[in-house]
């Protein structure tokens, strides 16, 4: 694809660089965006690897990060103005700006260079404008205000972006996407159920606990492969220990090894506590693996609905609701066959690279005065 041929894009992800060593959905989406832009013909440069992230609302850390960002701005601007004209960016694109990880660099650099500034996945949180993250929350709001365009990935984000939109700012829906141009080989669904998730305290561990408590209530025969690793692995192994060899821990796997599992998986199980969207859901569905997740705002944009609403249990139904849904799915292979076809069709139509590139460049081209 040559939609961006001849253009240079400066890319930045304040929360987690696409080169960060720890895997996550955030890193995967950042990599996908860079890949989509470069695959469309643009030259994409990673403008900075400075991580601007304050997990706990620490004023001292925020001050240090602000100082580092100021130095980084000067470094970037100096490098750009002394670079050959062909290597200077035509546009700055920031991925994931929010109150814990505001973009403290992009708006200033874009203003100094007089180039368009664009964001993908930006959130506004008014309630954070007071409290320990107040300054970072304001910085995230200011960065969002500076963007000519914000691409939102979920309807939940769209609601707050629309509510607090700056002037006539352009808000554009970009569906979360896989970098593939075509669907992979479908699963024959002859193998165990599959779960893919990092193992860390908080929401991820909460999902594992819900899953374990639900599995304890499922009477039908089942087996489960778990892919993932992290500091909370001992806790995950403990909550799953009651099931013995019905659960197999495979650790962290690369894309090819995970693809082998997807091509055998019968059902993808992951409750998705507070998931923004979750790339693993897209990967599973691209292989025709039905997904069983709770009914949560971010997931509604990417998880294909079942024929029966009871198969998307609300969070307040807890492990019991999840167990009831899983029991029903395991009891009805015809339902699973139908869902397997539906999920692949949805991914093909909405969540692959060609559709994402067209949506992205149809908005970026006018900013760069590229004929569509």
Per-residue exposure over 268-287, b if at least 16 CB sit within 10 Å of its own CB, e if not: bbbbbbebbbbbbbbbbbbb
Residue 246: how many other CB atoms lie within 10 Å: 13
Predicted confidence (pLDDT) per residue in 246-260, tens digit: 999 999 999 999 999
Strand partners, 219: none
- Structure tokens of 346? 């949805």
Whether the CB-CB separation of 223 and 253 falls below 8 Å is answered with: no
Considering the chain, what is the average pLDDT of its residues? 95
> What single string gives the DSSP state of each residue in 121-163?
EE---GGGGSSTTHHHHHHHHHHHHH-SEEEESSHHHHHHHHH
Residue 215: pLDDT band with limits 50, 70, 90: very high
pTM above the 0.85 mark?
yes
Same fold for the pair 8-180+352-368 and 193-350: yes
Q: Is the pLDDT of residue 308 over 80?
A: no
Instruction: Please give the average per-residue pLDDT across 108-136, as a whole number.
Output: 96
| CATH node for 8-180+352-368 | 3.40.50.2000
Instruction: Please give the average per-residue pLDDT across 81-107, as a whole number.
Output: 97
- Structure tokens of 50? 């400075």
Domain spans in the chain, listed from the N-terminal domain onward: 8-180+352-368, 193-350
Predicted confidence (pLDDT) per residue in 137-163, tens digit: 999 999 999 999 999 999 989 999 999
| pLDDT at residue 370, rounded to an integer | 57
Q: What are phi and psi of 254, to 5 degrees?
A: -80, 175
| pLDDT at residue 128, rounded to an integer | 95
Instruction: Please give the average per-residue pLDDT across 72-93, as a whole number.
Output: 96
Give the helix ranges, DSSP H, for 268-352: 279-286, 318-331, 333-350
Instruction: Please give the average per-residue pLDDT across 68-94, as a whole number.
Output: 96
| pLDDT at residue 372, rounded to an integer | 46
Q: Is it true that domain 193-350 has CATH number 3.40.50.2000?
A: yes
């Amino acid at each position: 694809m040559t939609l961006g041929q001849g253009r240079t894009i400066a890319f930045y992800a304040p929360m987690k660089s696409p080169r960060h060593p720890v895997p996550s959905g955030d890193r995967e989406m950042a990599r996908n965006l860079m890949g989509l832009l470069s695959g469309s013909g643009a030259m994409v440069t990673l403008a900075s690897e400075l991580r601007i992230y304050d997990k706990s609302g620490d004023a001292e850390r925020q001050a240090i990060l602000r100082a580092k960002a100021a130095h980084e701005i000067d470094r970037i601007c100096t490098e750009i103005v002394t670079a050959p004209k062909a290597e200077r960016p035509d546009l700055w694109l920031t991925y994931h700006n929010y109150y814990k990880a505001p973009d403290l660099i992009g708006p200033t650099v874009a203003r100094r260079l007089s180039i368009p500034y664009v964001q993908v996945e930006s959130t506004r949180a008014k309630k954070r404008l007071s409290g320990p993250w107040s300054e970072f929350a304001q910085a995230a709001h200011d960065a969002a205000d500076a963007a000519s365009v914000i691409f939102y990935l979920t309807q939940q984000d769209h609601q707050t972006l629309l509510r607090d939109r700056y002037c006539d700012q352009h808000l554009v829906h970009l569906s979360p996407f896989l970098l593939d141009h075509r669907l992979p080989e479908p699963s024959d669904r002859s193998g165990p159920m599959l779960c893919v998730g990092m193992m860390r305290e908080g929401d991820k561990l909460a999902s594992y606990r819900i899953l374990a408590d639900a599995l304890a209530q499922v009477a039908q025969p089942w087996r489960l492969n778990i892919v993932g690793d992290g500091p909370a692995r001992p806790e995950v192994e403990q909550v799953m220990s009651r099931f013995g060899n019905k659960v197999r821990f495979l650790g962290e796997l690369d894309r090819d090894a995970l693809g082998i599992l997807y091509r055998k998986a019968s059902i993808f199980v992951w409750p998705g506590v507070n998931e923004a969207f979750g790339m693993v859901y897209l990967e599973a569905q691209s292989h025709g693996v039905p997904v069983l997740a709770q009914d949560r705002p971010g997931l509604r944009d990417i998880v294909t609905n079942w024929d029966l609403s009871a198969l998307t249990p609300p969070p307040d139904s807890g492990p019991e609701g999840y167990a009831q849904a899983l029991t029903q799915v395991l009891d009805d292979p015809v339902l699973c066959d139908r869902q397997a076809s539906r999920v692949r069709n949805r991914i093909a139509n909405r969540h692959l690279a060609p559709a994402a590139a067209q949506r992205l460049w149809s908005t970026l081209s006018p900013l760069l005065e590229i004929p569509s």
